[in-house]
């Protein structure tokens, strides 16, 4: 195989249990977002747009849907001769049995042979559950310019929230001098985004050692980075300032969807120079009936709206019957709201049906209601 | 799988001209309800019928169609076992009387003769309908016809379908004649320019047409063969549109604003495939008012839209009103504009003109790339 | 997803330990064959040519190469909207942990959710390590005509060898009345080829029961088929008569390659109406130098021949230097034979180099020599 | 990645005619050493240089090229981020003086103007060479040239390269003139019809050419701009072939029978991509004798082959002798035939004729599909 400059590995193993019933049948990275996307479309499209052609997706939990979704690398144009998206699950080897990935670093360690097959100079480690647009090629240029062993993407967080994050303390030139996980008294507001570029030769050596270490959790943040700092390796912080969202909870997933209604929204999915690619089916345009009343909305093709929609995000193939109301809500693909039903401050999961005249959600509820099962109608 | 037949998709005869739109692309490349291209329909019909060897004949200005069709993967045609071939003709002066389908077939006879299938299904790239060709083929073979011809019974043959052919049938559905629609009566059987026959007969008819006259079309030679061959009509039912004039194009789009008609036509068990572009969802701003319309992705709507079709990446400004119109992709309608009964081609910017209205039945047409 | 008439599952988990060092780094189905192919190209191409559009490949052992090889379904044209090749490895689920496939039937059972997602009427079970061409669509037609619950492909073997196989005893109409695994006194010569079509609903029920059975080996031949016969289900034998070879040993793999030199060889890889698709790279034609002497050979593009080749199969990118001799041998991709070296009755593994003047293999050896490591030259 | 430039691949000027082969396809579609098509080389050069937006201009008989290029996936061009566009011209009478590259550019100006890149790299589809365009672009930008022109120093300009242009350079590599090669001297700098410049200058020159004369080619306007623009020559080294006559085609193929030349040209770090066909390996039967030849897959060889190129699916019968010849795909040479110094086009059957030999330097040419 041809030599690749930088190969990406997406850590997509997360069960995402804080997303409750949304991840019962799909891994978290396959959860729907933004009218037509899945979360993992973001790192994958970023890779495609940054010219990163080989992407490994590491997963072990309920991977059938995620697997068949990402295996069709053509969605992101990653299906040419020298490109591809490869799903990497734990496997039996000549010298080892089948074993789960014990941590983020172990997931890479178990696939050293895969990485070696492409002989990359650099490796990009990504997380499968963040919504953002980022040019990894620019980050690589920075990594090279700095002559770093590792470069970690960071973003500024409000100082008062900094103690909730992994904080990087840097010298004046972007070099990381200290890493503190959830520091009580943060010295900086630069939070790690869980995006790393390593020089592969350096990382490979560390991983081999880490695998043998019985006291390691085999985690990048807890084990690999501290060891590197300890060894005096050059770690640099790459500052990112753009839309970024961890959609780990129902509330944050709802919020991230609602952000799209903001016309100044930095994510700008309409920017054709940095498209987010996804499964794009040849269905009909959205049908807006004579009875429809749309206030503010973000609606995808295939949807049919006969009722009222206010400040909501409506995914592919949703149906909102005449007389139904959807307010401050997110309707995932194929959700159906029947006549007279009212959905307020809710996130309705894929293919869920809200029956006639049913009322779900509360205008004043503090948390967003997840509706993951059909709701019976009332006559 | 209908491996017994290959498909031929033909371009429109040289006497068909659709005002405006046709200056920029062949009819097969026309946008349909904002999202599809007309050629998606015959191609999807073939793919859904299990036909995986398809010839598409391209005439003038092939770029947009070549780009749209590409390798045909999105039509669900196996790229190894199947093959979607694009065929060209040298004789492509759009108005030349020699620019017939027969000329195109003759120039690519080697490709036709090399097809391993026994039967051929010929369908036009300028009509929109749904048809299971496998069923058509099975019926054709069972009935033992020489040629099976698809037709549609219409009751508006006076106003529309003026460039189409009319089929006269006897009691046994035998085709008695095939003649140009002169608009003499409301009720007519319109030929859908769709035929099933054996590959050998197809090639024999092409050669015969060529011998008889350099200006003959395939329909002409069919018309001349009514006496000698067993040509049987097969009635098509459901939505049918022949895109043979701006009026027809407009009406064909508007008919699908009827939810019932649309739902009957677009069914999950018979998908229509198209080339997709990863356009983001459509953003409806506060103040947008949209009713009875089909809206494509990546539009931004701040104004009012009624009984209209809005294409991809279209912007409708604040206070703008769009009624009974078709706005094609990338057009930008600025604040306060009033548009009624119009077809706005791609990449148009309506900036200074505040009103575009057609008073007649025929919609107003605004040219591609125009800035008004 | 659209309903699929018949979905195929290829059992590709085999370690293939009788192939020794050939399968150290690749699973058996990924082993090279016939100048340019890999074994798994045969069932996959058969699927593509038979109109079977969805193929699951079940694997757990060293699947990186196999995985990235089959994941690019485009090689077999299986990358359209409704088609795809999916690698299925064991995975963690909401209600169960990570566990190896315990048997051929268990491999399917663990992926019931995958099959269900396509809602097929029939399921085709294939093995990943046989060389043959077969139209599965015809077998399906037979299955339907017979109204069978299961159809098993069989082939006639010489009666005296029948006791080495799983033998199907049928009534006059193709219905299987008895199945005997390696019978001492065979009653028929119809050996199972390990190719099954099941009506999915029927099989699904049996698999669910089989999973709960603590005494089951979870194997089609040992468990599922006997249970079906016991239950009075209709099992039919579908007779196949064409080239078929199990390439489970070095000798049989060598033989299967040598069969290609026979001009009457039934496999007929040159038949363009039933192509075997594979990774086909855009390399140069084969270069035959002025010093070359080719007697009988089957040579692939990218090879460069400067020496003597007799009755041999030469794969992609092999180099045979002037003065070298290759006799009655198989040279796998990238093998290099240097000046003066002589290779006789051997199978030289991928990228192995036979040094100057080295001699490997014996003209009269009973078994074929596998050369899996570089052989040093002599000056 | 060279995202700063898009690529344009141009077809051969209308005065270039390659005897025989050219009757069936454009030069870009010619088979090269039995396995590639000529256009694979410029396309691979662009792809390997990180250029992923490419315009390919197609002239007459585009079918074979459209089929070969397809969606461009096999050229390693990301299908989402990149785009390989096929562009056509209406004015495609092969011999018309209006059939120039300028006409083709003018007809597709909208597409050109829409490209987001700042620079363009123009390369011809009728030449075979290896060139890192990224390096060329970097040099161009650093040197601050208006135009960088690739040239090759040859010593056979009397016999070959007759339809090419000759470049005169000053000491600073400034292009003094660009004129048709009249075969006046052995040593010449041949223009490789390959240019780097800004997109804006490219479009300005196209428009200027159009204004000055409807028959101007892009090379003509470059020639006329030598005085006013800073046009710098960039010397190309290594294998180079201009496929501008049957002689040139034949020689270009034969040169690669030299193992050293071939190995220097075909390197792993600069792959040439092509459309592959899953052809099985080649079978050498007992009695076959093959030396100093390039042999493609799926051939069956029972006879003798010397200093020749054998295409895919070719059959060489028992006792047949092929010397110094090029046999294209699917041709069948029956037992006992003697062929020397010939180019046999595709699908030829040599059955009754027992000897095909050209006595002159120019090889004999046998037409596609001929049965002899």
Residue B92: list chain D partners with CB under 8 A. 90, 92
Query: How large a percentage of chain A has pLDDT more than 90?
Result: 62
Contact across the interface for A281 and B292, Cβ inside 8 Å = no
What pLDDT, in 10s, does the model give residues D98-132? 778 998 899 899 889 999 999 999 999 999 999 99
**Residue showing tokens 């200093």:** D307
Dig out the tokens for A56 from the structure. 């490994």
Residue A4: pLDDT band by 50, 70, 90 thresholds?
Answer: low
User: Which residues from A are below 8 Å from B when comparing CB atoms?
Assistant: 34-36, 74, 260-261, 263, 269-270, 275-278, 280-292, 294-301, 304, 309, 313-314
Residue D67 has a pLDDT of: 86
Give the mutation candidate from B2, B79, B268 for the C interface (greatest C CB count, under 10 A).
B79
Distance CA C267, CA D343 (A): 33
- Chain A residue with CA closest to D51: the answer is A51
Higher pLDDT, B203 or C281: B203
Contact across the interface for A285 and B283, Cβ inside 8 Å = no
Distance CA A331, CA A324 (A): 13
Name the average pLDDT for chain C.
Answer: 88
> For C288-310, what is the mean pLDDT?
95
Residue C1: pLDDT band by 50, 70, 90 thresholds?
Answer: very low
Task: Establish, for the pair of chains C and D, how many residue pairs have beta carbons separated by less than 8 Å.
Answer: 110
Q: Give residue B311's Cα distance to chain centre.
A: 18
Q: How many CB atoms lie within 10 A of CB B134?
A: 19
Residue A50: list chain D partners with CB under 8 A. none
Residue C99: list chain A partners with CB under 8 A. 98
| Chain length of chain D | 372
Q: How many CB atoms lie within 10 A of CB C205?
A: 10
Higher pLDDT, C276 or A86: C276
Which value, in Å, is the radius of gyration of the alpha carbons in chain A? 22
| Model ipTM value | 0.84
Dig out the tokens for A124 from the structure. 């990009």
Higher pLDDT, C175 or D3: C175
Q: Which fold is adopted by the domain D283-366?
A: UDP N-Acetylglucosamine Acyltransferase; domain 1 (2.160.10)
Contact across the interface for B80 and C275, Cβ inside 8 Å = yes
Contact across the interface for A288 and B33, Cβ inside 8 Å = no
Q: What DSSP character marks residue B371? A: B
Task: Give me the residue from A35, A282, A296 closest to B271, CB to CB.
Answer: A282
> For C72-87, what is the mean pLDDT?
76
| DSSP E strand stretches across B81-187 | 83-88, 119-124, 127-129, 147-154, 165-169, 175-180
Task: Give me the residue from A51, A76, A273 closest to D80, CB to CB.
Answer: A76
A132 known ligand binder: no
Q: Does A94 touch chain C (CB under 8 A)?
A: yes
CA nearest to B282, candidates B305, B251, B256: B305
Distance CA C276, CA D280 (A): 8
pTM: 0.88
Element (H, E) at A253: helix A250-258
- DSSP collapsed to 3 states, B131-144: CCHHHHHHHHHHHC
Residue A1: pLDDT band by 50, 70, 90 thresholds?
Answer: very low
Which neighbouring-strand residues pair with B149? Answer: B195, B233
Residue A18 has a pLDDT of: 62
Neighbouring residues of B84: CB distance < 8 A, sequence distance ≥ 6: B43, B54, B56, B69, B71, B72, B75, B77
Neighbouring residues of D341: CB distance < 8 A, sequence distance ≥ 6: D323, D324, D325, D357, D358, D359, D363, D364
> For B240-265, what is the mean pLDDT?
94
Residue B79: list chain C partners with CB under 8 A. 74, 77, 79-80
pLDDT at residue D1 above 50? Answer: no
Residue D146 has a pLDDT of: 96
Distance CA D330, CA D264 (A): 29
Task: Establish, for the pair of chains A and C, how many residue pairs have beta carbons separated by less than 8 Å.
Answer: 97
Residue D2 has a pLDDT of: 43
Residue C74: list chain B partners with CB under 8 A. 79
Which neighbouring-strand residues pair with D225? Answer: none
Residue A102 has a pLDDT of: 79
> For C194-203, what is the mean pLDDT?
95
∠ CA(A219), CA(A223), CA(A228), 5° rounding? Answer: 125
Q: Does B95 touch chain D (CB under 8 A)?
A: no
Shortest CA gap A300–chain D (Å):
20
Mode of pairing for the β-strands spanning B36-37 and B31-32: antiparallel
CATH code of C6-261, in short, is 3.90.550.10
Chains in contact with chain B (at least 3 beta-carbon pairs closer than 8 A): A, C, D
Domain boundaries, chain D: 5-265, 283-366
Shortest CA gap C62–chain B (Å):
28
Contact across the interface for D81 and A49, Cβ inside 8 Å = yes
Task: With both helix axes pointing from N to C terminus, report the angle between A136-146 and A41-50 in degrees, rounded to the nearest 10.
Answer: 60
Dig out the tokens for D349 from the structure. 């059957």
Chains in contact with chain C (at least 3 beta-carbon pairs closer than 8 A): A, B, D
Contact across the interface for D90 and B60, Cβ inside 8 Å = yes
- Chain C residue with CA closest to B115: the answer is C273
Strand, coil or helix: what is A163?
helix
Domain boundaries, chain A: 6-261, 287-371
Contact across the interface for C300 and D262, Cβ inside 8 Å = no
Task: Give me the residue from D259, D271, D288 closest to C287, CB to CB.
Answer: D259
- DSSP collapsed to 3 states, chain C: CCCCCEEEEEECCCCCHHHHHHHCCCCHHHCEECCCEECCHHHHHHHHHHCCCEEEEECCECHHHHHHHHHCHHHHCCCCCCCEEEEECCCEECCECCCCCCCHHHHHHCCHHHHHHHCCCEEEEEECCEEECCCHHHHHHHHHHHCCCEEEEEEECCHHHHHHCEEEEECCCCEEEEEEECCCCCCCCEEEEEEEEEEHHHHHHHHHHHHHCCCCCCCHHHHHHHHHHHCCCCEEEEECCCCEEECCCHHHHHHHHHHHHCCCCCCCCCCHHHCCCCCCCCCCCEEECCCCEECCEEECCCCEECCEEECEEECCCCEECCCCEEECCEECCCCEECCCCEEECEEECCCCEECCCCEECCCCCCCCEEECCCECCCC
Give the mutation candidate from B70, B82, B92 for the D interface (greatest D CB count, under 10 A).
B70
Residue A291: list chain B partners with CB under 8 A. 291
Same fold, D5-265 and D283-366: no
Mode of pairing for the β-strands spanning A150-156 and A190-199: antiparallel
CA nearest to D66, candidates D111, D107, D15, D29: D29
**DSSP letter string over A93-144?**
BTTB------SHHHHHHTTHHHHHHH--SEEEEEETTEEE---HHHHHHHHH
For residues A27 and A59, is the Cβ–Cβ distance under 8 A? yes
* Domain C287-371 CATH class label: mainly beta
Task: Give me the residue from C36, C281, C284 closest to D281, CB to CB.
Answer: C36
Task: Give me the residue from C75, C80, C275 closest to B73, CB to CB.
Answer: C80
Residue A66 has a pLDDT of: 73
- Chain A residue with CA closest to B277: the answer is A280
Give the mutation candidate from A284, A326, A331 for the B interface (greatest B CB count, under 10 A).
A284
A192 known ligand binder: yes
Residue A25 has a pLDDT of: 64
Strand, coil or helix: what is B67?
helix
Task: With both helix axes pointing from N to C terminus, report the angle between C136-146 and C41-50 in degrees, rounded to the nearest 10.
Answer: 60
Residue C16 has a pLDDT of: 55
For residues C257 and C245, is the Cβ–Cβ distance under 8 A? no
For residues B365 and B343, is the Cβ–Cβ distance under 8 A? yes
Longest dimension (CA), chain D: 66
Residue A148 has a pLDDT of: 95
Residue B167 has a pLDDT of: 95
- Range of weakest confidence among B43-47, C276-280, C322-326, D206-210: C276-280
Residue B290: list chain A partners with CB under 8 A. 288, 292, 294
- Chain A residue with CA closest to B305: the answer is A288
Residue C53: list chain B partners with CB under 8 A. 78
Contact across the interface for C137 and B78, Cβ inside 8 Å = no
Contact across the interface for B79 and C74, Cβ inside 8 Å = yes
* Domain D5-265 CATH class label: alpha beta
Task: Give me the residue from C282, C294, C299 closest to D273, CB to CB.
Answer: C282
Give the mutation candidate from D48, D81, D118, D276 for the A interface (greatest A CB count, under 10 A).
D81
Mode of pairing for the β-strands spanning D53-58 and D83-88: parallel
For C:22-81, CB contacts with A below 8 A are 24-25, 59-65, 67-68, 71-74, 79
> For A220-231, what is the mean pLDDT?
92
- Range of weakest confidence among B278-287, C338-347, D267-276: D267-276
Shortest CA gap C261–chain D (Å):
7
Residue B279: list chain A partners with CB under 8 A. 280
Higher pLDDT, C90 or A257: A257
CA nearest to C348, candidates C326, C378, C364, C323: C326
Task: Measure Cα distances from A238 to A46, A151, A175, A212 in Å.
Answer: 16, 7, 9, 30
Contact across the interface for D88 and B61, Cβ inside 8 Å = yes
Task: Give me the residue from B73, B87, B278 closest to D63, CB to CB.
Answer: B87
Residue C96 has a pLDDT of: 62
Contact across the interface for B71 and D66, Cβ inside 8 Å = no
What pLDDT, in 10s, does the model give residues B288-312? 999 999 999 999 999 999 999 999 9
A62 known ligand binder: no
**DSSP letter string over A278-333?**
------PPEEE-TT-EESSEEE-TT-EE-SEEESEEE-TT-EE-TT-EEES-EE-T
Name the average pLDDT for chain D.
Answer: 91
Binding site listing of C for alpha-D-glucose 1-phosphate: 101, 166, 181-182, 192
Burial of B105 (0-12, 13-18, 19+ CB in 10 A): buried
Residue C2 has a pLDDT of: 39
Strand, coil or helix: what is B280?
coil
Residue D95 has a pLDDT of: 57
pLDDT at residue D51 above 60? Answer: yes
């Amino acid at each position: 195989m041809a030599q690749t400059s930088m190969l990406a590995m997406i850590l997509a193993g997360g069960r995402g249990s804080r997303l409750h019933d949304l991840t019962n049948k799909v891994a978290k990275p396959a959860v729907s977002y933004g009218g037509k996307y899945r979360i993992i479309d973001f790192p994958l499209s970023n890779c495609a747009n940054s010219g990163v052609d080989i992407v490994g997706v590491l997963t072990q939990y309920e991977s059938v849907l995620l697997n068949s979704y990402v295996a069709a690398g053509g969605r992101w144009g990653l299906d040419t001769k020298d490109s591809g998206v490869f799903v990497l699950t734990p496997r039996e080897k000549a010298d080892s049995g089948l074993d789960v990935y014990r941590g983020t670093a172990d997931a890479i360690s178990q696939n050293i042979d895969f990485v070696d097959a492409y002989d990359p100079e650099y490796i990009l480690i990504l997380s499968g559950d963040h919504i953002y647009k980022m040019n990894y090629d620019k980050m690589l240029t920075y990594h090279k310019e700095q002559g770093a062993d590792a470069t970690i993407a960071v973003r500024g967080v409000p100082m008062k929230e900094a103690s909730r994050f992994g904080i990087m303390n840097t010298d004046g030139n972007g070099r990381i001098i200290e890493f503190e996980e959830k520091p009580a008294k943060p010295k900086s507001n630069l939070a790690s985004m869980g995006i790393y570029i390593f020089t592969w030769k350096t990382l490979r050596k560390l991983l081999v050692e880490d695998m043998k270490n019985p006291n390691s959790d085999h985690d990048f943040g807890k084990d690999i980075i501290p060891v590197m700092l300890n060894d005096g390796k050059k770690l640099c912080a790459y500052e990112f300032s753009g839309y970024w969202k961890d959609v780990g909870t129902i509330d944050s997933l709802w919020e991230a969807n609602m952000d799209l209604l903001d016309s100044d929204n930095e994510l700008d999915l309409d920017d054709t120079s940095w498209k987010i690619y996804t499964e794009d089916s040849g269905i009909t345009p959205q049908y807006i009936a004579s009875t429809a009343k749309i206030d503010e909305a973000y609606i995808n093709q295939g949807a049919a709206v006969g009722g009222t929609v206010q400040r909501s995000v409506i995914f592919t193939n949703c149906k909102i019957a005449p007389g139904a109301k959807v307010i401050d809500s997110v309707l995932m693909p194929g959700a159906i709201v029947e006549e007279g039903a009212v959905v307020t401050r809710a996130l309705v999961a894929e293919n869920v049906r809200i029956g006639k005249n049913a009322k779900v959600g509360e205008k004043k509820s503090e948390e967003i209601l997840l509706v993951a099962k059909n709701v019976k109608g009332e006559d | 799988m209908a491996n017994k037949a290959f498909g031929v998709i033909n371009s429109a005869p040289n006497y068909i001209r659709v005002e405006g739109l046709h200056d920029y692309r062949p009819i097969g490349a026309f946008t349909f309800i904002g999202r599809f291209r007309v050629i998606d329909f015959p191609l999807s019909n073939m793919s859904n019928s299990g036909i995986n060897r398809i010839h598409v004949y391209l005439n003038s200005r092939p770029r947009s169609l070549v780009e749209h069709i590409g390798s045909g993967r999105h039509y669900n045609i196996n790229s190894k076992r199947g093959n979607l071939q694009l065929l060209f003709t040298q004789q492509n002066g759009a108005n030349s009387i020699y620019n017939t389908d027969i000329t195109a077939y003759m120039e690519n006879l080697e490709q036709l003769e090399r097809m391993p299938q026994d039967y051929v299904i010929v369908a036009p790239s300028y009509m929109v309908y749904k048809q299971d060709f496998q069923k058509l083929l099975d019926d054709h073979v069972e009935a033992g016809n020489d040629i099976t011809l698809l037709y549609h019974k219409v009751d508006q043959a006076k106003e529309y379908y003026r460039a189409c052919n009319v089929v006269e049938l006897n009691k046994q559905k035998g085709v008695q004649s095939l003649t140009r629609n002169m608009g003499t009566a409301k009720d007519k059987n319109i030929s859908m320019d769709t035929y099933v026959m054996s590959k050998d007969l197809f090639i024999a008819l092409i050669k015969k047409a060529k011998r008889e006259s350099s200006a003959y079309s395939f329909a002409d030679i069919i018309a001349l063969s009514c006496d000698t061959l067993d040509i049987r009509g097969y009635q098509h039912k459901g939505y049918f549109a022949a895109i043979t004039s701006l009026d027809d194009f407009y009406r064909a789009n508007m008919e699908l604003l009827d939810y019932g008609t649309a739902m009957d036509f677009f069914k999950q068990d018979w998908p229509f495939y198209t080339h997709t572009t990863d356009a983001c969802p459509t953003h409806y701003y506060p103040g947008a008012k949209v009713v009875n319309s089909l809206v494509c992705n990546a539009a931004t709507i701040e104004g009012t839209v009624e009984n209209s079709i809005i294409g991809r990446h279209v912007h409708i400004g604040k206070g703008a009103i769009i009624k009974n119109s078709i706005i094609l992709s990338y057009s930008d309608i600025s604040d306060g504009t009033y548009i009624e009964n119009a077809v706005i081609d791609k990449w148009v910017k309506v900036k200074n003109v505040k009103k575009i209205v057609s008073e007649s039945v025929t919609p107003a047409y605004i040219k591609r790339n125009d800035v008004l």
